[in-house]
Chains A and B, each alone.
Chain A
Amino acid sequence: MSGHVSLQYSSPPVQKSIKDAEPRWVRYLLITIAVGFLGLFLVLPLAAIFIKAFDKGSAVFFAAISSPDALSAIKLTAIVALITVPLNAVFGVAAAWAVTKFHFKGKSLLITIIDLPFAISPVIAGLVFVLLFSTHGLFGQWLLDHNIKIIFAVPGIVIATLLITLPFVARELIPLMQTQGTSDEEASMTLGASGWKTFFLVTLPNIKWGLLYGIILCSARAIGEFGAVSVVSGHIRGMTNTMPLHIEILYNEYQFSAAFAVASLMSMFAIITLIVKNVIEWKAKKSMIPEEGVS
């Protein structure tokens, strides 16, 4: 549900013949309202983050992002992303391959299940793992016996993030590969290529932009996840705090500038995500066969 932005949006405006369009003032009014709304809801918060980050000067800023707790939070966030994103990318490709290149019963059910993590509250996503792996949970006793900590430790954070970000790559690839169909792969097979060769030489190049885009979205969500991680992490400073959790702690302790300083780092990543998204869309459009014009 969230996050599925297909690679077809953000196109240039439709050409309209000058004569019959709505009057000028209507246009200006609509544009003003749109820009005003977006300015209020998008630009202002974004600006606030960066301005508040430097509220107390750049010395405080740099101190905040280089404090030991901040550094370990950054490190943890990076580790989580580096584990979950590749795993979910592989999953996304496998699931999309199964769903789009074959016919079988229960396909829609499978797609719905893949969509589920989108549909549930992040808090619930964290809760389920607490129910499974905490000391009172289903596997609690077994874990205790083997001295494995999942909840309130790093593995728990990884698993919860894995669940939350599971659909991203799959949801990008499934419609894309559905549109592309199976003819390219079938052609490759008839020419004697093996399954793996076909995948790497034919399929992968076809889906490269969609895959990259899905990975970008997946990463953004993986590093930014808050609700689910909040439930499973135990909030132990220096050990089980990701960047968002660290920001929460700073904020709740009224260290606003420090909080915004770390937040601004993450916001930079968000902006880069947006830029990369637009670049990918532009590139994807360029590589599509242009439609024939009507004379």
Chain B
Amino acid sequence: MSIQIRDISKSFGNFQALKNITIDIQTGELVALLGPSGSGKTSLLRIIAGLEAADQGAILFGEEDMTYISTKERKVGFVFQHYALFRHMTVFDNIAYGLKVRPRKNRPTKQEIEEKVYELLNLVKLEAFAKRYPSQLSGGQRQRVALARALAVEPKVLLLDEPFGALDAKVRKDLRRWLRKLHHDYQITSIFVTHDQEEALDVADRIVVMNEGKIEQIGTPEEVYEHPNSPFVYHFLGDVNLFKGRLHQGKLKDGSFEVDAPEFAGTINKEAVGYVRPHDITIERVSSPDAIMAMVSYIHLVGAVVQLELIRADTGSFLEAEVTKDYFRSLHLKTGEEVYVKPKQLKVFIPEDYSI
């Protein structure tokens, strides 16, 4: 079931939550709506579900216009951030709920419901918990029940609102992996909302980066990470080093540092910022023509990589670099030593183009 979001706008009083949002989602895709608080991602999800009404625009599931259809009729599976399990019902009854409330003619028999519920319990590995109450389960277990409950009604669309937000880091990682597998097996069109870029990059087929009610960029994880189209996306998707300087006729000059920016060949003397990921900074002990001298101020071993904090000799500003452990060992670096740094890949943005 493909989903088309056409020109959706929504305001809450004076606050505009969404401005002219248009997205096309293919059948079977797993899409992440990624953005900070207030970006409108949850509002958009709820509008797709029918829990809120847009001020303008349309939502289509396949060919059908869903804009005026109630939640009950839309047959979406919705998973809430805080699970929203029915706390006076057992796990079994929670999952069976969607099947039990069907009008008589569509309702499966008791036998069929039981089979379906146990099939799902099996899927989420909670068979032993069928008769337990939500209060007796851990956060991760509750979320799995919520997911099973949403899937029980065999929705064509699965919507998840920050599904792992309330869970511990380890549990989150496990559930992420599990969601990917589930999506791989079932191929339901799924949209999930998150503010955690790591999660989006890890799980999604495509990411919609949102900010202040607008779409900043839509693309595959690789696209938005490697080729961000704005400073916001760059910042939001990972750590970044900033080279603040002046751009003149295709060259960015910052302190003693100069780099080519051919796409701005025609630009005359503008303030600009160069964006570089920490792992795109090379570090060497020997100098080279366009390298900058810097002092190692802090060394931080994190798992399989080494994060280095450096202070530029020419401007005194900070840089963050990330190198593999092997490379680090080969350099025999110590704090206080001087090295030469060079950005491998740099993206230039002119701030005034992006200011509101």
Contacts and interface: CB of A to CB of B under 8 A. Distances in A.
B143 interface: no
B71 A19 contact: yes
Contact of A19 (B37, B38, B42, B50): B50
Interface in B117-158: none
Given A295-B37, A295-B38, A295-B42, A17 B52 contact: yes
B182 to A, nearest CB: 27
Interface residues of B, number: 10
B71 A20 contact: yes
B71 A18 contact: no
Contacts of B53: 17-19
B51 interface: yes
A18 B53 CA distance: 8
A137 B345 CA distance: 101
B51 A17 contact: yes
B70 interface: yes
Nearest to B74: A19
Contacts of A20: 50-51, 70-72
A69 to B, nearest CB: 59
Interface in A236-295: 295
Contacts of A295: 37-38, 42
A79 B77 CA distance: 67
A17 B54 CA distance: 11
Interface in B61-88: 70-72
A17 to B, nearest CB: 6
Contacts of B42: 295
A19 B47 CA distance: 11
A76 to B, nearest CB: 53
Interface string A46-75: 000000000000000000000000000000
Contacts of B70: 19-20
A17 B72 CA distance: 13
A133 B42 CA distance: 71
Interface in A9-35: 17-20
B15 to A, nearest CB: 10
Contacts of A17: 51-53
Given A17-B51, A19-B51, A20-B72, 14 more contacts: A17-B52, A17-B53, A18-B53, A19-B50, A19-B53, A19-B70, A19-B71, A20-B50, A20-B51, A20-B70, A20-B71, A295-B37, A295-B38, A295-B42
Interface of A: 17-20, 295
Interface of B: 37-38, 42, 50-53, 70-72
17 contacts: A17-B51, A17-B52, A17-B53, A18-B53, A19-B50, A19-B51, A19-B53, A19-B70, A19-B71, A20-B50, A20-B51, A20-B70, A20-B71, A20-B72, A295-B37, A295-B38, A295-B42
List the 10 closest pairs (A to B, CB-CB), nearest first: A295-B37, A19-B70, A295-B38, A20-B71, A20-B70, A17-B51, A17-B52, A19-B50, A19-B53, A18-B53
